[in-house]
Chain A
C-alpha cells in the first residue's frame, strides 16, 4: 500500500534554531501534501496545503514565515520551523494525496519536536 515516510521522527533542539522536517511519498506521486500539528489530547489541526511547484496555502492563524514549506518534487515536501521556540514544541504530521487512489490522504508517522 501507499507509504509516506516522515523524517526525523523525533528532534530536540535549542531555542532559536531552525528545524527541517521531510515528508516523502515512497511509492506514489503526490501533487498535494498536507502538514498538520497535533497538540496533546487534541485533534490534528491543518497548518498548510503544499502543492508541488507552487506556493503553499496556509490556514488562518499559521505564520508562513515561521513555518516554511517547500514542495519541490512530486515525492518530497519539507516543513522548516524557523527560529523555533518552546511554544513550537508539538507533534507534526504530514500526509500526501495520492491522486490515483481512493483514499484522500496517506499519513506519515509524525515528528515529535521538542524545543528547549
Chain B
C-alpha cells in the first residue's frame, strides 16, 4: 500500500517569502501525484497534479511542484506567497493503474502567511 509523508506540519511565512513544502511517498509502482489546498471553511481544491511527462508541473495561483522519481518526492513551491495563501495543504498519491483512484493523503501542512 502507498503512504505519503509531509515533513512540515506548520509553516509560518511573511508575505513575499518563498515557500517549499515537502512531500515524499512510498509505493512500489508508478503513481499519480497531487497537491490539494483547503482554505479555512472551504472544501479541498486541487492545486496541481502530475500524471506523466514534464516532472515540473505548474498549477493554479502560481504554485508549482517538481516530481523527483529518484527521491520519491513531489515538493510544492511558490516563489512569493501572499496572505491569501494561508490554508492547509495536502499532498496525495494514487496508483497509476488500478487502485480505483483511491487517494492516499499526507497529514497536511498548515501554512500561515503573515502581513
Best-surrounded residue of B42, B45, B103, B107 (most CB of chain A within 10 A):
B103
Binds B, one of A11-19, A73-81, A102-110: A102-110
Query: A46 in the interface, Cβ–Cβ < 8 Å?
Result: yes
Whether B43 sits at the interface, judged by CB under 8 Å, is yes
Chain B 23-67 interface residues, beta-carbon cutoff 8 Å to A: 32, 34, 36, 42-46, 49
Please report which residues of chain A, range 81-110, place their CB below 8 angstroms from some CB of chain B when the two chains form the complex: 93, 95, 97, 102-105, 107-110
Contact B34 A104 (CB under 8 A): yes
Partner of A107, one of B44, B49, B107, B108: B44
Interface residues on B, range: 20 to 34
Kindly state whether residue A49 has any CB partner on chain B within 8 Å.
yes
Q: Beyond A93-B44, A103-B46, A104-B94, is A34–B102 a contact (Cβ under 8 Å)?
A: yes
Does chain B have a CB within 8 A of A32?
A: yes
Contact residues of A: prevailing secondary structure: strand
Query: Counting CB contacts under 8 A, is B74 at the interface?
Result: no
Question: In the complex, what's the smallest C-beta–C-beta distance from B19 to chain A, in angstroms?
Answer: 20
Tell me, in angstroms, the Cα distance from A31 to B30 when the chains sit together: 24
- Cβ-closest chain B residue relative to A42: B107
Interface of A toward B, CB cutoff 8 Å? 4, 32, 34, 41-46, 49, 57, 93, 95, 97, 102-105, 107-110
B-to-A contact residues, CB < 8 Å: 4, 9, 32, 34, 36, 42-46, 49, 90, 94, 100-108
